[in-house]
Structure 1
């Protein structure tokens, strides 16, 4: 469970999103999609039901309540979120923690699947249910009925949950929270929202009488403020019949309190705030211009949304181009129109500056916004944005039948909460196709004029404490704004290239052999240059192809002296463009294409990865060919990247999280030179010329490369394209072998304590590690052990002790370069609870070693794994990873192992044995982050 509060109160940018739109009451009402069954019972309870088979045999149940922290009385601050927790701690059909226990036994994982959130204005519960058993669908409706109005709210259960809530609140302590506490009153205009943060305040969370939360529940958890959304592989008629039967008897309270529609009033004032903090690492200036809220109900609303999406897209592109100019004074910049808490919209702007260059950084970036406001965009920019927008819609149309259920749920949630239209994709596609061509430059310029205004403007300057004497005041920033406004600016000059990606197509090579591997539905092509291509056609998506390649080599081949450059080669060269084209030119050339190709150099291998639509596969193959044969270096982009890295290093360790993270990494790598964080000295040794040479060396020889393609293609149809482009890759037949580098983890028991920062919180990481003999069967035992230990820690640390919010157990086993295992137990807590909680972890481990796993724990783990695997194997991502792993390790491609056969070997005694092997404590490193001593 988590809560969402001021989600968009800070800088929250939209890209080409279609919703929400400018509030107007013109045009025709947007119709509701006929594929959704909706209704409202006599008591006001609303429902939305839709049949959808993606994924098959699954359904999503969401209970949406127009109830959030904004409705709390003064003595109830934090209780909307507390109430969310209580719905998991005892309801009519599931007393105490029986709900979580029951769902885990049918394969629904707590946190990952079963979840909820509370915000200012709503509380939403989510539950995925397997639908191959009709009884589970009915049980899902029982759970929804309990969540709607079946909480028991026992006093003992309430008291036990206080500690959990306080620990969830503690996790949010830090520099971000401190900054938020200062900026929120300004952003929210000291409205009611400012005094209703969903997490609440300690004095109430610790001391409120049980009757106070019962009053909140009685007042607000009621059918006229609730909706049930059910989307998935279900019988719509049966579900609707059952909803009417189970929810019609819910009653609204007598003399019910009206549900106020709180808003943040716009005052017309401009506000300024400067903040410093010792844990802030860069100086940043942020501007938020607030505007009245929006709706999405009419065709005019939708059209306005498209215009805003185009505006954001073009503005983002301009800012990206600005970032690629020589030696910019800023480290990063972003701007755009987006939503805000409290029913508002905003134009947001943020720039982070190099030391001593805030004014220069602001002037350069704000001048670009003034240029946009004054002149608008060019026709070429608008045409490209329209092409990109329409390409996205066309891609969506092709995948319409594969739309996942959670997409529909999100729409119906906004339909209930905001009245936002949900017309279905066909309507949206046809509307965009009809209206997009008619949008003009004047339309887009008007968007900028509407949102980039000079009232209701909040300005924040946030800087490191040591820069306090150098930050500007309100009058100074106002002067900067005035100077930009009165400055002489020229219209933006757009540059276009109409060259093809490849001026001359390669002659290509030949397919010298084709071998089918029916056990996994794969065909292997061997090309004349030695390249091997493994093809698996699938129908998991209607129009998606994914690919990856690998060949032995990697950066381990280079000396420690060259390592700083070698380890940064990909970042330097892959971001510099291709074949004489800069990244900006390349982006324009690829506009409207659904093709992307990345490149990597790992420790022991190098290759490419990416994806495309079927139509744009040839473009993707051309990009692969260029990645191998035509890398580009760019002095300006290199120097800009080094300058950004230099600033990231400068104040890095003012942030306690960075100190802790790097301490963990250094210890677990045995302080290996290549695993330690980059320093200024190493950065100074990075060479553009050397990086270019390393890149060319790594991709000079594809003779030992294996390419894996998975997705919606016909093998025979794409074979000629593969032969042309992959068959033309260079082949030197070097037959390289990877260089194996070993690291050593300290043996024995070790405690590392980091004391940094001012927040009263601790982070604990226990790393159980050692050598092992890798096998798939043993790795599964290790994963089962980790999951079962997490069940126990959730009970002992959270439910019983109430001193932890989310204990985590992660386990892994490696076979290369060394066969090792690790089990990482982590949690956050109060500093004074560290020793007690570590003791509870050790006790749970001792109990596992003595008695093994219980029947219930085994049932939960196995049910959850079955559900996960059933979904995973129906994805291109799974097969790409699975096949690539097998091929790279030179293992036989066989059918997927029988999951039931593997699960049968996981028993209570096998978990006992695994816990003795992997959690013996013989090699255990305890890392603890604590606040600095006062």
Structure 2
């Protein structure tokens, strides 16, 4: 053997090609981005485009890694102080500026800090407030004031963030992350720091850190959207050229970066399922050449194939589990393949055996051409629509991509180079190459991660690691792939179309009324896209069912989809849809139910055939029924072991009558759902009533009409009895619930407002309530967080669903136990403010925010389909969505105030719920 190697080396000496490979071409940057640098060292990036919006980012090359041990948490603390007073914006005036410009403010929306960066973000609806925004960004640069009073108040907010992000009982993922980085420099630099150092921080300490690290040579500014290059450069010069250059050098890369890849066995947190995972190292995360990009993409294809095969095998064997995954798992600058499952701990040996045998089969025998083709669809679509996809990117997406590139030292590719890389992938990803990649990946060293239930013995599980490694290396068994040659059922008797008419011209909307009372709506996009988005739905949902079927309703969608249709089982249907690049969701919500299908235009007939078959001929496989039922019961059992689950159940029992559809299902003593009950749920929801079919995409009405006759108009539907949508609150709502059960050192405070609402629903009312929700959220943040520093992220939730004759709103805060009474008072102050008056200025501000939030749906067909489905199904009409701005601006302050009185005034029932530490 040695002689052969020597001979090969001698033969290669005259041939330089044998000695060195051609270097892989580097990724080519997008020349539409303009990057420059001011004399003070500040770097800027400008990307003008055709959208109205403008997005701005201010990036600092400083994070928790730049902190000394006595400065733990300072980088993050300084980020918070940017919103608490500066040279041109006193106290929280900047928040008002952001909101009045139509932008959103809230936790994690406008700034964040990591190990190596601090980033400030603003997404404006237009360029009218750019000067105000850049004035604030310049204040962040060198004009923050660090008022001692504001510093002390903000400590309460950061303590709230500790409560929000870190539990006393650490979830397994957090435990393992800390294990993984234990050997790196990151381990001693948690982004939030320590509670002790945060509490001890002074305004002077923070200002010293700020002055050291907020310097122009450490900063980068990104501006994208509605501007010219000349405008962008003029703004940069005007606001940042006078910023004095500092002396702090840009931070060096982390030295200790080798992560700890030893096996890991630990108990999961309360409420978590037991788990088994493999973590396979795949190298550095960075990509600067086409070779590296191709390597990443081949790994991505392999991960998707593993994920799909595991789901097929687990489905076919009806193996009980909660989650199943194979995915790319980046951790800091490293990337991994993570493969595993969560499950009831009694299933451990079965789950581990099934995962390892499936991986051995993939390693030794690979996948079929059909399996591979299904995973290549997204790459082919990306290649075909590369230019259009880039054109459709919004300014905030461009800005976020640039920040990602700065952080990861990556290249934002030109469209041509992006397409070149995809062509290279599609040429390379042959069945031979992909199966070789699967073999190479699954032969790689893997760390075993075991999350143990409290009932399991850690020492015993640790002893079993060596046996698991042996099982992983054994010879695999070839799996016979599902036969997907079967075509979907073709109905022999067509139905009739009663009427067909254009009901809107710009955009074009066509309506068909079918003989079975199905109304079909086509929203034509004219975007030259191949994909269509469908919703088949009606009013009903859980509320339309008798109480004896409530125990079956939650499992019905999963049971039916996993059981298959016609002559195909669930795996075959799934393979068939993947081969056609289709996806389907089957949802039964509280007051409505639907099938949602995304499909390419040439396969619209298959999508409609699926709707026909799921509506007329459901299948229930007994093994799937048992597996799905056990999974649902186990998930609820796990939830009820947590303090939050117990607290939620107490509130639920105190609020609703026994026959309410809001009661938690599968509690002890309830009967197990049967096959007959699942079929009865389907019978009552999909074989009667008046359905709507929404189609959004670039397709001609003439291409749809014959398919409606063949597949939809002939679905037999009987008349639907009147649906009583009523959650059945108890006649006397328990007005105060206190439970001392929290295992965390924090309190949860909930103020709930329930009021009867039998007024006619309309699109305008939906818009109004969205605006009121935004206003309440702003007032909560202003009072609970910014003024009093009680919680990091107080929230308002709307519980009631479309069509329910009640409004049901919750205010929630997670606070220090000593601050419960103060929090209750702060909630009441918000309610008093809302019920006393709402100003025109407040109304106009939230109207502008709503317009900004809804406008993008005009360019997002999948979102438009969802909104049209909701508005048409519940009788709101679609006209408001065609003129978002006029609808929002038609709402007056008086109407807002009147609705606030109805929801929060004297006529509403108030329920206070508090969970305290035990």
Q: 1:208 to 1:883 in 2, by over 3 A?
A: closer
What CA distance in whole angstroms lies between the structure 2 residues aligned with 1:815 and 1:361? 40
Indicate the residue corresponding to 1:71 in structure 2.
Answer: 66
Larger deviation, residues 592-601 vs 778-787: 778-787
Indicate the residue corresponding to 2:487 in structure 1.
Answer: 500
Q: CA deviation at 1:340?
A: 1.0
Larger deviation, residues 91-100 vs 715-724: 715-724
Matches within 5 A, 1:264-663: 264-266=256-258, 270-275=262-267, 277=269, 279-290=270-281, 292-328=283-319, 330-341=321-332, 343-394=333-384, 399-441=389-431, 443-445=433-435, 447-448=437-438, 451-452=441-442, 458-465=447-454, 467-469=455-457, 472-485=460-473, 487-502=474-489, 504=490, 506=492, 508-518=494-504, 521-539=508-526, 542-551=529-538, 558-601=545-588, 606-663=593-650
Indicate the residue corresponding to 2:796 in structure 1.
Answer: 809
The superposition leaves residues 856-881 of structure 1 with CA deviations (integer Å, 9 ceiling, x where unpaired) of 53453343234334445665466545
Q: 1:179 to 1:605 in 2, by over 3 A?
A: closer
Indicate the residue corresponding to 2:742 in structure 1.
Answer: 757
Indicate the residue corresponding to 2:101 in structure 1.
Answer: 106
Indicate the residue corresponding to 1:259 in structure 2.
Answer: 251
The superposition leaves residues 13-40 of structure 1 with CA deviations (integer Å, 9 ceiling, x where unpaired) of xxxxxxxxxxx99311111112222223
The superposition leaves residues 142-191 of structure 1 with CA deviations (integer Å, 9 ceiling, x where unpaired) of 33333344333333322221111111111223266364664344211332
Q: CA deviation at 1:326?
A: 2.7
1:231 and 2:224 are equivalent in the alignment: yes
Q: CA deviation at 1:696?
A: 4.6
1:187 and 2:193 are equivalent in the alignment: no
Which TM-score applies when normalising by structure 2?
0.88
Which of these residues, 755, 759, 764, is aligned with residue 774 of structure 1? 759
Which TM-score applies when normalising by structure 1?
0.87
1:833 and 2:833 are equivalent in the alignment: no
Q: 1:236 to 1:626 in 2, by over 3 A?
A: farther
What CA distance in whole angstroms lies between the structure 2 residues aligned with 1:813 and 1:679? 22
Indicate the residue corresponding to 1:97 in structure 2.
Answer: 92
What CA distance in whole angstroms lies between the structure 1 residues aligned with 2:43 and 2:175? 39
Tell me if structure 1 keeps the 8 A contact 2:662–2:727.
no
Q: CA deviation at 1:408?
A: 2.5
Which of these residues, 13, 23, 42, is aligned with residue 26 of structure 1? 23
Larger deviation, residues 295-304 vs 518-527: 518-527
Q: CA deviation at 1:319?
A: 1.1
What CA distance in whole angstroms lies between the structure 1 residues aligned with 2:674 and 2:855? 48
Q: 1:705 to 1:753 in 2, by over 3 A?
A: same
Q: 1:338 to 1:772 in 2, by over 3 A?
A: closer
What CA distance in whole angstroms lies between the structure 1 residues aligned with 2:594 and 2:323? 29
What CA distance in whole angstroms lies between the structure 2 residues aligned with 1:796 and 1:216? 29
Determine helix, strand or coil for the equivalent of 1:174.
coil
What CA distance in whole angstroms lies between the structure 2 residues aligned with 1:808 and 1:472? 44
Q: CA deviation at 1:542?
A: 4.0
Q: 1:512 to 1:821 in 2, by over 3 A?
A: closer
What CA distance in whole angstroms lies between the structure 1 residues aligned with 2:651 and 2:22? 57
Indicate the residue corresponding to 2:154 in structure 1.
Answer: 161
Indicate the residue corresponding to 1:50 in structure 2.
Answer: 47
Larger deviation, residues 148-157 vs 798-807: 148-157
Q: 1:604 to 1:228 in 2, by over 3 A?
A: closer
What CA distance in whole angstroms lies between the structure 2 residues aligned with 1:363 and 1:313? 20
Q: 1:257 to 1:395 in 2, by over 3 A?
A: closer
Tell me if structure 1 keeps the 8 A contact 2:656–2:727.
no
Matched residue count: 894
The superposition leaves residues 449-476 of structure 1 with CA deviations (integer Å, 9 ceiling, x where unpaired) of 6555676x644433333x1446634332
The superposition leaves residues 638-674 of structure 1 with CA deviations (integer Å, 9 ceiling, x where unpaired) of 2221232233244432212222233333333344443
Q: CA deviation at 1:85?
A: 0.9
Tell me if structure 2 keeps the 8 A contact 1:75–1:212.
no
Tell me if structure 2 keeps the 8 A contact 1:572–1:688.
no
- Alignment gaps of 5+ in structure 2: 1-20
The superposition leaves residues 612-663 of structure 1 with CA deviations (integer Å, 9 ceiling, x where unpaired) of 3334323322222222233232233222212322332444322122222333
Q: 1:476 to 1:414 in 2, by over 3 A?
A: same
Indicate the residue corresponding to 1:129 in structure 2.
Answer: 124
Tell me if structure 1 keeps the 8 A contact 2:54–2:396.
no
Determine helix, strand or coil for the equivalent of 2:487.
coil
Q: CA deviation at 1:128?
A: 0.8
Indicate the residue corresponding to 1:19 in structure 2.
Answer: none
Q: 1:69 to 1:548 in 2, by over 3 A?
A: same
1:669 and 2:656 are equivalent in the alignment: yes
Tell me if structure 2 keeps the 8 A contact 1:631–1:696.
no
Q: 1:356 to 1:877 in 2, by over 3 A?
A: closer
Q: CA deviation at 1:441?
A: 4.8
What CA distance in whole angstroms lies between the structure 1 residues aligned with 2:62 and 2:368? 45
Q: CA deviation at 1:112?
A: 8.0
Q: 1:406 to 1:449 in 2, by over 3 A?
A: farther
Tell me if structure 2 keeps the 8 A contact 1:397–1:429.
no
Tell me if structure 1 keeps the 8 A contact 2:363–2:443.
no
Indicate the residue corresponding to 1:117 in structure 2.
Answer: 112
1:860 and 2:845 are equivalent in the alignment: yes
Determine helix, strand or coil for the equivalent of 1:110.
coil
Determine helix, strand or coil for the equivalent of 1:616.
helix
Tell me if structure 1 keeps the 8 A contact 2:803–2:874.
no
What CA distance in whole angstroms lies between the structure 1 residues aligned with 2:696 and 2:730? 37
Larger deviation, residues 398-407 vs 775-784: 775-784
What CA distance in whole angstroms lies between the structure 1 residues aligned with 2:588 and 2:865? 18
